[in-house]
């Protein structure tokens, strides 16, 4: 999809899905990876990479430990920003908006779609807290594996979130750094488009 197609689009989600489809063919690792920026109650920012597991009319979905730094910050300040960067395609997408929790049934379904080892790791990890040694974590995983031969129950603090976009910017690399930047801003139920200086 070239810049003219982006300019002609009525809303950004379909454009993003087309770009992601292209990225899945071109990017070697994790085309659904995005830098997720959150901020504390007093505005101190932090950023990390997450895997976006769903994109629909609600927005961009991801999953994490609600007791992690990002989970705590989202509870204090439920707004966030994402940036997808596809180096091979020379494109990026920036998303900003409010964040809400996904329904538990959806979070359960995704949690149980993961491998058993991933479920075990998620269930014992005290994400973002100090870990004395890697051996401690391995022992915790092994202990839970022995104690739980059947299905691993999703911990109540392992949650799904959806970022509802209010601003979505599509960036296309341009010659001599004259990049194309098309911004969609939500206004009620419609999207307003702007072309930005590079």
Q: Can you state the angle between helices 116-124 and 134-147, rounded to 10 degrees?
A: 120
Of the candidates 146, 191, 198, the one whose C-alpha atom is nearest the C-alpha of residue 175 is 198
Structure tokens at 102: 């996904």
Q: What is the rounded (10 degree) CA torsion for 116, 120, 30, 158?
A: 120
pLDDT given at position 59? 98
pLDDT more than 70, % of the chain: 99
Structure tokens at 65: 């430990």
Please write the tens of the pLDDT for every residue from 82-99: 999 999 999 999 999 999
For the segment 48-73, the average pLDDT, to the nearest whole number, is: 97
138 pairs with which residues across the strands? none
Find the distance separating the first CA and the last CA of the chain, reported in whole Å. Answer: 19
For the segment 8-19, the average pLDDT, to the nearest whole number, is: 96
- State the pTM of this model: 0.94
pLDDT given at position 71? 97
pLDDT given at position 2? 84
Structure tokens at 152: 């691993």
Q: How far apart are CA 198 and CA 180, in angstroms?
A: 7
Q: Answer whether residue 127 shows pLDDT above 70.
A: yes
Tell the residue number behind the tokens 């799904």, with chain if given.
160
- Active-site positions read 177
171 secondary structure, DSSP code: E
pLDDT given at position 1? 65
Give the burial class of 83: count Cβ atoms within 10 A of its Cβ; 0-12 exposed, 13-18 middle, 19 or more buried: middle
In the chain, what are the domains? 3-112+156-196 (2.30.110.10), 113-153 (no CATH)
For the segment 26-45, the average pLDDT, to the nearest whole number, is: 96
Q: How confident is the model at residue 72 (pLDDT cuts 50, 70, 90)?
A: very high
Q: How far apart are CA 74 and CA 68, in angstroms?
A: 10
Q: How much of the chain is in helix, strand and coil states, percent to nearest 5? A: 30, 35, 30
For the segment 154-174, the average pLDDT, to the nearest whole number, is: 97
For the segment 32-60, the average pLDDT, to the nearest whole number, is: 97
């Amino acid at each position: 999809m070239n810049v003219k197609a982006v300019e002609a689009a009525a809303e950004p989600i379909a454009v993003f899905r087309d770009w992601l489809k292209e990225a899945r063919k071109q990017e070697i690792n994790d085309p659904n990876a995005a830098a997720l920026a959150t901020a504390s109650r007093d505005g101190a920012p932090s950023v990390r990479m997450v895997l976006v597991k769903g994109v629909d009319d609600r927005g961009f979905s991801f999953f994490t430990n609600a007791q992690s730094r990002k989970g705590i910050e989202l509870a204090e300040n439920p707004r966030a920003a994402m940036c997808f960067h596809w180096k091979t395609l020379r494109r990026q997408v920036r998303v900003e908006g409010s964040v809400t929790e996904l329904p538990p049934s959806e979070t359960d379904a995704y949690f149980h779609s993961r491998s058993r080892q991933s479920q075990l790791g998620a269930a014992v990890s005290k994400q973002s807290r100090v870990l004395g040694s890697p051996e401690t974590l391995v022992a915790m995983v092994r202990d839970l594996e022995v104690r739980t031969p059947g299905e691993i129950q999703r911990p109540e603090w392992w949650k799904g979130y959806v970022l509802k976009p209010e601003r979505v910017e599509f960036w296309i690399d341009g010659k001599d750094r004259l990049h194309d930047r098309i911004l969609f801003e939500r206004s009620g139920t419609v999207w307003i488009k702007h072309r930005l200086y590079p």
